[in-house]
Chain A
Amino acid sequence: MHALALPARSAATREHRDARTDRLFRLALAACAAFVLVALAGAALSMLWGGRHALQSQGLTFFLSAEWNPVEQRYGALAPIWGTLATALIAMLVAVPVSFGIAFFLTEVAPRWLRASVGAAIELLAGIPSIIYGMWGLFVLVPVMTVHVTPWLNDHLGSAPLVGPLFRGPPLGIGLLTAGFVLAIMVVPFAASVMREVFLTVPARLKESAYALGATRWEVVWGIVLPYTRPAVIGGIFLGLGRALGETMAVAFVVGNSVRLSPSLLEPGTTIAALIANDFGEASGTYRSALLLLGFVLFVVTFVVLAVARLLLQRLARREGR
């Protein structure tokens, strides 16, 4: 009697215990997942909270004025906002065609043995820490810009109508154009590897049908691959844009760090991230608050860009049935 009842009772308690542990386990994991949500919300709200003094004292002029004067407590963030947008735009102008070309090369043009090694090399470029890009930019690219590029731009584009003022400036080498170019070199590997991956999802039968009809490689990529993957390609571009907008160290080395709004891309400027990196350590009071508010602005802008990127990338993934 006893010998039979004992295992049954212990089995029941064990089942009970297991069920309880399971519930606890599930709750603990769910709490960790919720922490991810809390982390992002916390990051946004803490900066908004820290920036409330600046928002109260400056109001809308924070976004509309270009006067950044910590001594007189006047903070207009137009210069860093313009710098952020301009450098990111320059970076994308260079990076989009280049990364599309690399993805085309890696999926259709290169012989099979070359694809793996060139692909790995491009991804190697993506793994290099961003501060190295900044140091390389300062020591190598800036002298090249000073001696060759800036004088050439001054001579050939400086007097052009409409875009002339953008390319007139002293041959300092540092500035928005240099920063944009360093960003472009950083963004290319990211955008190229995303594009390559989405190009590889195109069903082979679609491409082979086109080749069978006599289409050239370019026609296959432009007429078959690109229409099939368009949302994801744009998503990849936006992913690169998000990176370019928020990059700090690579920009801080070569942008010049001058909070002054200038029409020229060749004069020193600054970006939101570079300004925070340079000044936050010494700032206090309203100045610190203004920098936190700038951080919030940067966060909101990159959030929107990255959200668009993810939604576009998901569209292709959903079609793939993943």
Chain B
Amino acid sequence: MAASRPARTATALYLRRRLTNALAIALSCATAAFGLFFLGWILWTLGRKGMAGIDWNLFTRMTPPPMEEGGLANAFFGSAVMCMLAVLAGAPLGIAAGTWLAEYGRAGRIAAVVRFVNDILLSAPSIVLGLFVYTLYVARSGGRFSAIAGALALAFIVLPVVVRTTDEMLRLVPAQMREAALSLGVPQWKVTLQVLYRAASAGILTGVLLALARISGETAPLLFTAFGNLYWSTDLSGPMASVPVVMNQFAGSPFESWQVLAWAGALVLTVFVLLVGLAARALLLRNRIAHD
């Protein structure tokens, strides 16, 4: 009798632990299903509503006035121009700053501060960067919205992404490579440009691609820098259309032709962003294999 009671409580305890475990596992499966469910739902909505507007006109015609047919050619062009300018401005600066962190700053205190600030900049709200460029540039040039201002705002998003990946990728380059080059009497700048960049090129390019994927969907920083433009424009000092801003304007409108265009733009944009992200990941994977 006295021996069976501990045995019974032990069985009860065992059962309770098993039950708790089963419940926790069931809940974790449910949360994973929850995440996948919403991913599926969003992609399905995007595909269903976006496919309706995908045709040749989308890429060849301008954004239309309400109730009329048209395309997003000027928006695609504007997005491409501003993203390209942003990468051209932000990437070299980011690569240089990342190189300083990895090669000169190393584990020092100043480098720690720069890394910390860079990480904050990396996740800072993008609308704040739009406001920054507005006061820095647009307000100074008489309140004139311009493609340059838009590209500048996007460049501030490119910068921290590239800094971080460059820093990480250069630190992955084996120290022997630096030592071998330096022992031959090669100056530091040449070692960096011709040895280290070559070894880490795939990784650095990954960072640039990740930054491109991120800025091509950004809306908030463009709202009051590049503003928007219903017409074809190649003037960098004037307002320029971009896909996300047009989507923002068209999606909430009561006009059906505008809504169709907004969803078509959303589909093209998402496919582009996912493809660039995929390319970045594939590149990183290949780089890692090459290092092992």
Residues of A near any B CB (own CB < 8 A): 18-19, 21-22, 25-26, 28-30, 32-37, 39-40, 42-43, 46-47, 49-50, 97-102, 104-106, 109-110, 118, 121-122, 124-125, 127-136, 138-140, 185, 188-189, 192, 216-219, 221-222, 239, 242-243, 245-249, 252-253, 273, 276-277, 280-281, 292, 295, 298-299, 302-303, 306-307, 310
Q: Which residues of A contact B36 (CB under 8 A)?
A: 118, 121-122
The interface residues of chain B lying within 8 Å CB-to-CB of A245 are 125
Instruction: Determine whether the beta carbon of A219 is less than 8 Å from that of B32.
Output: no
A136 engages B46 (CB within 8 Å): yes
Tell me the interface secondary structure of chain A in the complex.
Answer: helix
- Cβ of B25: which chain A residues have Cβ within 8 Å of it? 109, 217-218
Which of B51-59, B67-75, B173-181, B187-195 forms part of the interface with chain A?
A: B187-195
From the candidates A29, A102, A122, A303, name the one contacting B104 in the complex (CB within 8 A).
A29
Determine, out of B80-88, B113-121, B200-208, the stretch whose residues face the partner at the interface.
B113-121
Within 8 A of A (CB), among B82-139: 93-94, 96-97, 99-101, 103-105, 111, 113-114, 116-121, 123-129, 131-132, 134-136, 139
When chains A and B are docked, how far (Å) is the Cα of A114 from the Cα of B8?
38
Q: A99 — nearest CB in chain B belongs to which residue?
A: B31
Cα distance, A118 to B105, chains bound together (Å): 38
- What residues of B have a CB within 8 angstroms of the CB of A122 in the complex? 35-36, 39
Of A43, A97, A185, A243, most buried by chain B (CB within 10 Å of CB) is A43
Cα A130 to Cα B121 in complex, Å, equals 18
B45 touches A217 (CB 8 A): no
B255 contacts the other chain (CB 8 A) = no
Q: Is B252 an interface residue (CB 8 A)?
A: yes
Do the beta carbons of B125 and A299 come within 8 Å of each other? yes
Whether A298 contacts B125 by the Cβ 8 Å rule is: yes
Asked if residues A253 and B251 are in contact (CB atoms below 8 Å), the reply is yes
CA distance A37 to B129 in the complex (A): 14
Query: A residues within 8 A CB of B114?
Result: 33-34, 36-37
Asked whether A25 and B123 contact (CB < 8 A) given A121-B36, A135-B247, the answer is no
Q: How far is the CB of A189 from chain B (nearest CB, A)?
A: 7
Contact A33 B101 (CB under 8 A): yes
19 extra interface residue pairs, beta carbon distance < 8 Å, beyond A33-B96, A295-B131 = A33-B101, A37-B117, A43-B124, A43-B129, A46-B132, A50-B139, A101-B32, A118-B36, A125-B39, A128-B217, A128-B270, A128-B274, A133-B42, A140-B41, A246-B127, A249-B244, A253-B251, A280-B131, A307-B116
Q: State whether B127 touches A273 (Cβ < 8 A).
A: yes
Instruction: Identify which of B42, B104, B218 contacts A132 (C-beta below 8 A).
Output: B42
